[in-house]
Each structure stands twice: as structure tokens, then as C-alpha cells.
Amino acid sequence: MSVASCVLPLHIFGPDRYAARQALILTPARYVQAAAPAAYTLSLDVSPGVAMVATSLICIAMFALTFGLRPVSAP
């Protein structure tokens, strides 16, 4: 993970129970990272076309989510 994923919760939530908060925030990402290769392999077994469509849809969704981002002004 990046520095921002470690430092930002510390800045927002403070040092009190930082480790527990980090575990709560990062656990879902770890499960998805662990399951992704198996899920992609299963989609390749079904059909390479299905795997390509699924990958393309995920990429398009991630790109579309960037339109909701706003620039942050400097303090």
C-alpha cells in the first residue's frame, strides 16, 4: 500500500487505536488481492473473452470513478 494509506488514517483518526483502525481499513483490500488471481483464472477457464470483458469493465469503472475526484487546494 502507499504512504497515504498509512499516514492519512493517522492524521484523520489520531494515534489512539491506530493499529486497529488500520486493520479495519486494509483488511477488505487484502482479501480482494488474495482472491483476484483465482477469480481471474476461473474467468479464463470459462472463456478468454469473458476474462477480457470483465477486465475491460473493471478498467472502465475505475476510470469513471476518477471523474468524481476533486483537486485539493493547498493549505
Q: How many Cβ atoms from other residues are within 10 Å of residue 66's Cβ? A: 7
Dump pLDDT digits (tens) for 47-71: 999 899 989 999 999 999 999 877 7
Domain segments of the chain as ranges = 3-68
Q: Nearest CA to 39 among 66, 11, 58?
A: 58
Q: Nearest CA to 6 among 54, 38, 18?
A: 18
Dump pLDDT digits (tens) for 14-51: 888 888 888 888 899 899 999 999 999 998 998 999 89
Is 60 exceeded by the pLDDT of residue 1?
no
